[in-house]
Every structure is written in structure tokens, then in C-alpha cells.
Amino acid sequence: MYSVLDKDTIELEIVAYIPKSRRGFAVTVPLSEIINAILYKLKTGVQWFQLPVKALFKDKVICWQSVYYHYRKWSRCGFWKACWIKFLKRHRSKLDLSSVDLDGSHTPAIRGGEQVDYQGRKKRKTTNALYLTDRQGLPLAMSEPIAGNHNDLYNIEVQFEEITATLEEANISVDGLFLNADAGFDSKDLRKACSQKNIHANICFNKRNSNHERDEYFDKELYRQRYAIERTNAWLDGFRSLLNRYDTTTESWKGLNYIAFIVVASRKFKKKKV
């Protein structure tokens, strides 16, 4: 059977936290097999109706509509983000928070949908979101997706609050964090948002902002380590359903991202044990 994560990891990290529902269709197959089918879709990018359900389920086979039904149900109730926050709580001792990296990503939106618009640099319709990673490049949080016609600094104070709130819900203190970001994030609003949370903003100066000497904090050696988040982007692009966005609703799109976070972190932690 195709497997992105082993059964034990799926059971311990995801299935154990699925909320019990008294409404809707009764589950007739192991939840771990449904999760495995969702992981297959995430990794391969196959369309839902093309899921090879006969190969993904053992004793009893369910149709692709049932797999999609459960995914949508868990997406709408915010389960995937809640599951990721609980994952961070359990494994926060394994994170390297000596510094964190912030970056934005424009994802082509093939079928349109919520928070989609034309982005000139990509020359197509995209969805934009901000991502935060630890020093190892492990994903920590993402912002709310916004239409691709907005740049990374659009409504940055609200977006940054969303990101830091995820860490705080996971009992990860942001006080004293060193945050790396490229020149595209060099703005007074972001620096102010960082200052209010006692986060040290190590943001590369944007030459277009001023030609004068600036006295803001900037550590070149620390900034050189920012390559880690570019590596994270490559890891996430390895999930074909994230490389291009086909889901038309933002909750489904965010759900796929949070599942990928769990997969990336689980694999990383497993390698450390070996």
C-alpha cells in the first residue's frame, strides 16, 4: 500500500486528535486509511476522483467521494490547524528557535476560487501566503491566504498577528525571537509589529526605502542562514497538491498546508532518532 507516513505516525499524530462527530456519515473503515488516502492526494497531486481507492484500502473499499467528504468536514471545522498546533505543543522541545525565518509564497491557482487574483510577476492568477520556519527549516505557521495581486506586506500587521498567534497557541513564546526576512519585508509596520511582541527584526534593508544610513538592527551573519526557508519551500513543493492550487476554498487549501507541515516535521524528527 502506498504510504507517505507510516501507520503508527498517522495514528499517534493525526487520528488520535480527530474530533468525534455525532452527525454525518458513520465511518466504516479505519480512520488511518482515510488519512493515508488524503496523504496520497497531497503528495501526488492527483485529482480527488482519480484516487486509487482499491489500492489504498485493505478490507473494505470506500469511494473517493467519501474520502473527500471527510477531508472537507475536517477542513471546515478547522481540525487540520488545530492538529498542527497540538503537534507543535508535543514536539516544541525538538524545534530550534535560536532564530526564525519569514517568507512569502505565490501559488498558481489553476481553478480560481477564494482569495485568487492576477499576479504580474508570475503572469497568472495566484494565492499568496506568508510562512514562518525555525532555524532547521521546519515550518511553524502560515498566514491567512490572500489574493495574489497583493504583495507580501499587504495588511502585514494582521497577517503577522495570525502567524504569531499560532505559536502562542502552541505554548511557544515569541518573546526575544530573532526573525530573519528579506528586503521585501523592510517596512515600518512589520518592524513595529515585531517590536510590540519583543521580536528582534533582522530584516535586510531595502535600498528603495532610503539612501541614508540606518540605525536599525541587522546581523549579516544571521541573515546568511535564511537559506533554510528556501529549502523549506522546496520541501513543500515536493507535495504536488501544494505546487499548484486546485482547491477553490481557502479552508481546503490551508488544510493541505498543515498536513504537509506534519509530514515534513514527522520525517525530520524520525531521522534524528535513527
CATH (domain of 101): 3.30.420
- Say if 149 falls within a structural domain: yes
Does the structure show a pLDDT above 70 at 202? yes
Predicted TM-score of the model (pTM): 0.94
Domain count, the chain: 2
Q: Give a yes or no: residue 86 inside a domain.
A: no
Q: Give yes or no: residues 65 and 117 share one domain.
A: no
Q: Which residues of 104-116 are buried (b: 16+ CB within 10 A; e: fewer)?
A: bbbbbbeeebebb
pLDDT tens, 21-52? Answer: 777 667 889 999 999 999 999 999 999 999 99
Are residues 115 and 237 located together in one domain of the fold? yes
Within-domain flag for 262: no
Asked whether residue 112 falls in the same domain as residue 206, the answer is yes
pLDDT tens digit sequence for 73-121: 999 999 999 999 999 999 999 999 999 999 999 999 999 999 999 999 8
Q: Could you read off the pLDDT of 168-181 as tens digits, one per residue?
A: 999 999 999 999 99
Say if strands 100-108 and 178-181 run parallel, antiparallel, or are unpaired: parallel
Strands 146-147 and 124-133: antiparallel
**How far is the C-alpha of 5 from the C-alpha of 7, rounded, in Å?**
6
Measured between alpha carbons, how far is 35 from 225 in angstroms, rounded to an integer?
35
Helix axes 227-237, 250-273, angle to 10 degrees: 110
Range of the domain at 154: 96-246
On whether both 228 and 167 belong to a single domain, the answer is yes
Note whether 68 and 106 are same-domain residues. Answer: no
274 lies in some domain: no
154 and 202 part of one domain:
yes
Q: Are residues 168 and 68 in the same domain?
A: no
List the beta bridge partners of residue 107: 127
Residue 51 included in any domain: yes
Does residue 88 form part of some domain?
no
| Lowest-confidence region among 29-33, 188-192, 211-215, 225-229 | 211-215
Residue 223 pLDDT > 90: yes
How many alpha carbons fall within 13 Å on the CB side of residue 12? 9
Same domain (yes/no): 32, 159 = no
Q: Is residue 190 part of a domain?
A: yes
| pLDDT at residue 14 greater than cutoff 80 | yes
Task: Answer whether residue 82 is part of any domain.
Answer: no
100 and 170 fall within a common domain = yes
